[in-house]
Structure 1
Amino acid sequence: MTQDYISYIRSKVGHDKIILNFAGGILANEEGEILLQLRGDKKTWAIPGGAVELGESTLDAAKREFFEETGIKVEVNRFLNVYSNFEEVYPNGDKVQTIVMIYEFRAVEDFDISNFHNEETLKVAFFSKEEIAELDSVSDKHRLILAEYFNNSFAMGH
């Protein structure tokens, strides 16, 4: 398949609501702050991650997307949870129910995020639990994921 999976599916169903599988990861620094990306499409702060492509594992997708959106190569510490009860509408009108696998990552080498940006990511920065609570542009899904991470308590059935 020469086009990505989402483009392929959208060519069949248009903007109708579909279920899509996503994977992402949480990276904390030595101070316990969490790395978030300012998304290019929605202009919101989010956990780095993205869609799983055909033939790709969720872990491989999470590591690939994390690198694409932050420039940081990572490896997994542990699997955290699955989040499947959230719906969203993208700026282009696409409707989805997301199934998201979240991992905890560690960086495999030193990195510098001070000037990182691309089409998907306007900016990346580390935030404390208190700073995240004050951000206006974090989705309910990402707030729940981050709250569970900071509490180290992961509920089933989201």
Structure 2
Amino acid sequence: MADYISYIRSKVGHDKVILTFAGGILTNAAGDILLQLRGDKKTWAIPGGAMELGESSVDALKREFLEETGIEVEPVRFLNAYTNFEEVYPNGDRVQTVVLLYEVVALKEFDIAHFHNEETLSLRFFSPEEIARLASISDKHRLMLDEFLNHTFAMGH
């Protein structure tokens, strides 16, 4: 089923639901991490998105990463599952998110200089120092990035 979120929202409105997402961390040769400036919340985030019914987390990751960045990726390592975060979207939708996070590599050369669409206002690689100073990032994404940068992944998030 395409567009599971629209389907489930037609049944429950803005009530809180559990949704599963897949996200990917892509680094460049300098170790900087690609983040997207989200169109909905105007915050910097790890690229990724919601799984559709019948879709694996890896397939969702590849699809969403391509949609949000224009980059074809392949996961090389599963990093962690994050299950204890709640969000309220600008349209009033409430969710508890389950995020399956992967480290990814690009399958071919890419150029992010002019990429943008409805979901992604801008793309940029950030150094660990720049990430530490970012104010416009959610607690969930900050935790994911901190764990990746510190090479320590705790269970139970």
TM-score bracket for the superposition, by shorter chain length? over 0.9
TM-score of the pair, normalised by structure 2: 0.99
Q: Deviations over 1:78-116 (max 9, x none)?
A: 000000000000000000000000000000100000000
Q: 1:35 is paired with a residue of what secondary structure?
A: strand
Q: 2:22 is paired with a residue of what secondary structure?
A: strand
Residue 21 of structure 1 corresponds to 20
Q: Deviations over 1:34-78 (max 9, x none)?
A: 000000000000000000000100011011101100000011110
List runs of 5+ in structure 2 lacking aligned partners. none
Q: Deviations over 1:137-156 (max 9, x none)?
A: 10000000000000111100
Q: Structure 1: how far apart are the matches of 2:56 and 2:129?
A: 33
Q: 2:111 is paired with a residue of what secondary structure?
A: coil
Q: CA deviation at 1:134?
A: 1.1
Q: Structure 1: how far apart are the matches of 2:74 and 2:8?
A: 30
Q: 2:77 is paired with a residue of what secondary structure?
A: strand
Q: Structure 2: how far apart are the matches of 1:137 and 1:64?
A: 25
Amino acid at match of 2:150: N
Q: Structure 1: how far apart are the matches of 2:26 and 2:102?
A: 9
Q: 2:142 is paired with a residue of what secondary structure?
A: helix
Question: Which aligned pairs between 1:29-40 and structure 2 lie closer than 5 A?
Answer: 29-40=28-39
Q: Structure 2: how far apart are the matches of 1:113 and 1:16?
A: 36
Give the root-mean-square deviation of aligned CA atoms.
0.7
List runs of 5+ in structure 1 lacking aligned partners. none
TM-score of the pair, normalised by structure 1: 0.98
Structure 1 moving runs of 4+ over 2 Å: none
Question: Which aligned pairs between 1:136-147 and structure 2 lie closer than 5 A?
Answer: 136-147=135-146
Q: CA deviation at 1:128?
A: 0.6
Q: 1:11 is paired with a residue of what secondary structure?
A: helix
Residue 51 of structure 1 corresponds to 50
Residue 107 of structure 1 corresponds to 106
Percentage of identical aligned residues: 74
Q: Deviations over 1:119-144 (max 9, x none)?
A: 00000000011101111110000000
Q: 1:156 is paired with a residue of what secondary structure?
A: coil
Q: Structure 2: how far apart are the matches of 1:76 and 1:97?
A: 24
Q: Structure 1: how far apart are the matches of 2:136 and 2:44?
A: 6
Q: CA deviation at 1:23?
A: 0.4
